[in-house]
Amino acid sequence: MKRIGVTGHRNIPAEAYAHIRAAVQAALRTHTGSMEALSSLAVGADQLFATLALDHDADLTVVIPSGDYEDTFDGPEELADYRRLKDRATSEVRMAFPHSTDEAYYAAGTYIADHCDRLLAVWDGLPARGLGGTGDIVRYARERGKPVTVIWCEGVERA
């Protein structure tokens, strides 16, 4: 089974969304046979990837950074989207952090990088804005020799 993980920004600019969606779909289409998708289901890139992977009949493994992770979602709609995807997951991995901290996010990101065959990074190429951000996870994966596919829309800046 091929295992594909994701790391990416929570805020995808509207002008980049269609391009990023198409690029994620294209990356998923390159794999035939069974596939496992690893995601923390954060708003943005994680949920987009998980949705598209499920559309490609992948088994979804959810990597939950902390015990209070659901408290990090803004409003009932974001939480409902998270729960909808989580309910469709084949398996769930929980990091041993009671609270959502940068360390918890870093642990979840490195778990995904360690347990995938390929990492998709919806990343603008800039340094992480806090420990465990996309740039940190890309660097971690590359240092370990993981194949990383960076997906972004050239010329678009993240807010």
Q: Which pLDDT belongs to residue 50? A: 98
Distance set, CA 4 to CA 34, 38, 60, 134 (Å): 11, 6, 10, 16
Which residue in the block uniquely carries the two structure tokens 């972004």? 152
Q: Which pLDDT belongs to residue 4? A: 98
User: How large a percentage of the chain has pLDDT more than 70?
Assistant: 100
pLDDT band at 131 (very low <50, low <70, confident <90, very high): confident
143 contacts 114 by C-beta, under 8 angstroms:
no
Sheet containing 91-94: order of strands: 91-94, 59-64, 35-39, 2-8, 118-122, 148-151
pLDDT band at 159 (very low <50, low <70, confident <90, very high): confident
Across residues 1-11, what is the average pLDDT? Answer: 95
Mean pLDDT value across the chain: 96
Q: How far apart are CA 143 and CA 83, in angstroms?
A: 33
Q: Which pLDDT belongs to residue 72? A: 95
Q: Which pLDDT belongs to residue 52? A: 98
Q: Is the pLDDT of residue 158 over 90?
A: no
Q: How far apart are CA 24 and CA 18, in angstroms?
A: 10
Give tens-digit pLDDT for 93-122.
999 999 999 999 999 999 999 999 999 999
Give tens-digit pLDDT for 13-61.
999 999 999 999 999 999 888 999 999 999 999 999 999 999 999 999 9
User: How large a percentage of the chain has pLDDT more than 90?
Assistant: 92
Across residues 68-76, what is the average pLDDT? Answer: 96
DSSP string, the chain: -EEEEEEE-S---HHHHHHHHHHHHHHHHT--S-EEEEE---TTHHHHHHHHHHHTTPEEEEEE--TTGGGGS-HHHHHHHHHHHHHT-SEEEE-S-SS--HHHHHHHHHHHHHH-SEEEEE--SSPPSSTTSHHHHHHHHHHTT--EEEE--TT----
